[in-house]
A and B are shown apart, each in its own frame.
Chain A
Amino acid sequence: MANEIKIRAWMAEGDKATVKAIIFHPMETGLRKDKSTGQIIPAHYITEAKIEHNGKNIMTCLWGPGVSKNPFLSFSFKGAKSGDNLKISWVDNKGDHSSDEVKLA
């Protein structure tokens, strides 16, 4: 489950594609306490996610701890066609990183 990304991307109308993605990540703010120990849970959150269409960066997401656990992202973009590659890669504040890619349906 760690470092998992779920991506759905499909052609909507004309040359526009719609993307929906969930990145599984705790997105800890560093402000919460562990209820059993009283210890502060260290901050652990994605800082940047990059979206690439056929290898070209089309959007960079700068995220902070205010983004919900297991970040959800949906957007649409143009200039797409069925079979195109869509890649999402992220890095977090601890230096962990992951990426995944899909073909546009």
Chain B
Amino acid sequence: MASTTQTEIPPAPPGRRTRAKSTGRVGDKIFLGLSRGSGILLLVIMASIAAFLTYRAAIAISDDEGNFLTTFDWNPAGDPPVFGIAVLLFGTVVSSIIAMVIAVPIAVGIALFISHYAPRKLAGAIAYVIDLLAAVPSIVYGIWGALVLVPYLEGLNLWLDQFFGWTYIFEKTEIGVARSLFTVGILLAIMILPIVTSVSREVFLQVPRMNEEAALALGATRWEVIRLSVLPFGRSGVISASMLGLGRALGETMAVATVLSPNFLISLHVLNPGGGTFAQNIAAKFGEADAFGRDALIASGLVLFVLTLLVNGAARLIIARRKEYSGANA
């Protein structure tokens, strides 16, 4: 640092400017170093999450006497220790799919409502209300779901069983309160609604006005405008929004842990109480787990981590690709 000041002085006689310049450089270097360092730190954190989880998971899986992928049991404290993620994977995927099937159409509807149907002044307020849904902590959703939603859903379950029981999926073979994967799916749908809505809304607002006005000028009704110009433009955005929502639903812990009454069976009767998800299993089994049991839970968490990483990564790639090609952002 001293050398730079020395080399700078001879060519530029006015002393004040050189001093400012040289301190500026040092400051710049420090500042750049700090900010780049924190960027790198983020990457290090991500890498170490993967590394540490893998390391602990490897300890657990190597001592697992059952098959980690296909065993229908979670008993790492047993002798021999047997545990597997089959039921958890099934429950996680099924509840998330139910959530998506319910949430995505409604979210697209709300996004259209905000972007194209609601009165201009109301639209902002509605968007705000939907954002409030996202601000509610998941544990509050959890106790609301368990204490309010579950009793309310019993009638709906009866209906589904009565009218759609023939589909096998909606056949309710066990009597019991609605602490089922289906109820969890509904609750997750409510929870992922805000993120799917807000991303879709952003995309719908970016639709080139020219396209819409052209359709209107041809005499299209409002629905035809949306079908012909808004939805085709927004399709990839809606897909990535739903994948972001899927990522949320996959990793949700508390809402599932409070609502579901878990068991270790795989059943496509989604109305029957039972099943389990990765996050719910970790929260529920952690209290009673010994050191090895914790490693086993970490192993299941690793699978969840990889799953959400893939889903979120794919969603982000779709968004990024869309940005490159869309004229709106050019």
Question: Are A and B a genuine interacting pair, yes or no?
Answer: no
Residue positions of B touching A, CB distance < 8 A: none
**Interface of A with B (CB < 8 Å)?**
none
